[in-house]
Amino acid sequence: MVLTADADETVLAAARREGAGLPFGCRTGACATCTGRVLDGDLEHVRPPRGLKARHLEDGYALLCIAEPRSDCRIEVGAAVANDLVSNPWK
Amino acid sequence: MSDSESPDHCDHGHDHEGPGYATPQAAIEEAERERTAYVMGIYTGTGVDAPDFVGVVDLDPESDTYGEVVNRVEMPNVGDELHHFGWNACSSSCHVDGLERRHLVVPGQRSSRIHVLDTKDRRDPEITTVIEPEEVFEHDLSAPHTVHCIPDGQILVSMLGDADGELPGGFLELDENFEVDGRWDPPGEIEMNYDYWYQPRHNVMVSTEWAAPETYYPGFDLEDVEAGKYGRKIHFWDWAEGTVEQTIDLGEEGQIPLEVRFLHTPEAAHGYVGTALSSNVFHFSKDGGDGDGAWSAEKVIDVEAREHDDWDMPVPGLVTDLLVSMDDRYLFFSNWLHGDVRMYDVSDPANPRLADRIWAGGTFGPSHPTGEDDREVVGGPQMLQLSLDGERLYWTTSLFSSWDDQFYPEEAEKGSVMLKADVNPRKGTMELDEDFLVDFGDLPDGPARAHEIRWPDGDCTSDVWQ
pLDDT tens-digit series, residues B351-365: 999 999 999 999 999
**Residue B20: per-residue pLDDT:** 86
Beta strand A35-40 with A61-63 is antiparallel
Distance from CA of A71 to the nearest CA of B (A): 27
User: What one-character DSSP code corresponds to residue B268?
Assistant: -
Using an 8 Å CB-CB cutoff, list chain A residues near B221.
53, 86, 89
DSSP assignments along B195-246, one per residue = -EEEEGGGTEEEE---B-HHHHTT---HHHHHTT-B--EEEEEETTTTEEEE
Banded model confidence at residue B4, pLDDT cuts 50, 70, 90: very low
* Alpha-carbon distances of B260 from B146, B273, B288, B312, rounded to whole Å: 11, 4, 21, 31
Q: Do B142 and A89 touch (CB under 8 A)?
A: no
Q: Tell whether the model's pLDDT for residue B292 goes beyond 80.
A: no
Using an 8 Å CB-CB cutoff, list chain B residues near A62.
none
For residues B369-376, average pLDDT: 97
For residues B114-141, average pLDDT: 98
Q: Tell whether the model's pLDDT for residue B15 goes beyond 70.
A: no
Cis upstream peptide for B168 (omega within 30°): yes
Least confident residue range of B232-236, B315-319, B456-460: B456-460
User: What one-character DSSP code corresponds to residue B355?
Assistant: E
Range among B69-73, B87-91, B454-458 rated most confident? B69-73
Banded model confidence at residue B13, pLDDT cuts 50, 70, 90: low
Let me know the angle formed at the C-alpha of B106 by B105 and B109, rounded to the nearest 5 degrees: 135
**Residue B98: per-residue pLDDT:** 80
Phi, psi at A78, each rounded to 5°: 120, 165
Among B78, B111, B409, beta carbon nearest to A26: B111
CB B414 within 8 A of CB B378: yes
CB B379 within 8 A of CB B389: no
pLDDT tens-digit series, residues A31-68: 999 999 999 999 999 999 999 999 999 999 999 999 99
From edge to edge, which strands make up the β-sheet containing B204-207?
A: B196-199, B204-207, B233-238, B243-249
For residues B194-213, average pLDDT: 97
For B276, the 3-state DSSP assignment is coil
Distance from CA of B402 to the nearest CA of A (A): 7
Q: Do A89 and B110 touch (CB under 8 A)?
A: no
Q: Do A33 and B311 touch (CB under 8 A)?
A: no
CA distance linking residue B282 with residue B256, whole number of Å: 12
Q: In terms of CA atoms, which chain B residue is nearest residue A88?
A: B406
Distance from CA of B111 to the nearest CA of A (A): 4
* Alpha-carbon distances of B140 from A25, B162, B176, B182, rounded to whole Å: 18, 5, 22, 10
Q: Tell whether the model's pLDDT for residue B11 goes beyond 70.
A: no
The distance from CA A62 to its chain's CA centroid, rounded to whole angstroms, is: 4
User: What one-character DSSP code corresponds to residue B254?
Assistant: G
For B335, the 3-state DSSP assignment is strand
Q: Tell whether the model's pLDDT for residue B7 goes beyond 50.
A: no
Q: What residues of B are in the A interface, CB distance below 8 Å? A: 44-47, 49, 78-81, 110-112, 133, 137, 142, 161, 163-166, 213-214, 217-223, 310-316, 401-402, 405-407, 409, 412
Q: Tell whether the model's pLDDT for residue B89 goes beyond 80.
A: yes
Q: CA-based diameter of chain A, in Å?
A: 44
Work out the percent of chain B whose per-residue pLDDT is above 70: 95
Beta carbons within 10 angstroms of residue B181's beta carbon? 15
**Residue B257: per-residue pLDDT:** 98
Q: Do B218 and A31 touch (CB under 8 A)?
A: yes
Q: Which helix (H) or strand (E) holds A21?
A: none
Closest CA to A82 of A44, A25, A43, A39: A25
How many Cα atoms are found within 13 Å in the side-chain-facing hemisphere of A62?
A: 26
Least confident residue range of B6-15, B126-135, B282-291: B6-15
CB B453 within 8 A of CB B383: yes
CA distance linking residue B329 with residue B47, whole number of Å: 42
Beta strand B204-207 with B196-199 is antiparallel
Task: State the pTM of this model.
Answer: 0.96
Q: Do B164 and A25 touch (CB under 8 A)?
A: no
Least confident residue range of B355-364, B374-383, B455-464: B455-464
For residues B239-257, average pLDDT: 97
Q: Tell whether the model's pLDDT for residue B2 goes beyond 50.
A: no
Q: What is the mean pLDDT of chain A?
A: 96
Q: Tell whether the model's pLDDT for residue B289 goes beyond 80.
A: no
Beta bridge partners of B126: B118
CA distance linking residue B454 with residue B437, whole number of Å: 17
Q: Do A83 and B405 touch (CB under 8 A)?
A: yes
Q: Tell whether the model's pLDDT for residue B14 goes beyond 80.
A: no
Let me know the angle formed at the C-alpha of B266 by B263 and B271, rounded to the nearest 5 degrees: 25
Q: Tell whether the model's pLDDT for residue B290 goes beyond 70.
A: no
> ipTM of the assembly?
0.97
**Residue B12: per-residue pLDDT:** 55
Q: Tell whether the model's pLDDT for residue B221 goes beyond 50.
A: yes
pLDDT tens-digit series, residues B400-452: 999 999 999 999 999 999 999 999 999 999 999 999 999 999 999 999 999 99
Beta bridge partners of B234: B248
Among A79, A85, A90, beta carbon nearest to B313: A90
CB B204 within 8 A of CB B237: yes
Q: What residues of A are in the B interface, CB distance below 8 Å? A: 21, 23-33, 35, 48, 50-53, 78-80, 82-83, 85-91
Using an 8 Å CB-CB cutoff, list chain B residues near A87.
406
Q: Do A79 and B218 touch (CB under 8 A)?
A: no
Work out the percent of chain B whose per-residue pLDDT is above 90: 90
Count of residues making up chain B? 466
Q: In terms of CA atoms, which chain B residue is nearest residue A28?
A: B164
Mutation target for B interface from A1, A12, A31: give the one with most B CBs within 10 A. A31
Using an 8 Å CB-CB cutoff, list chain A residues near B213.
26, 30-31
CB pairs A-B closer than 8 Å: 113
For residues B335-362, average pLDDT: 98
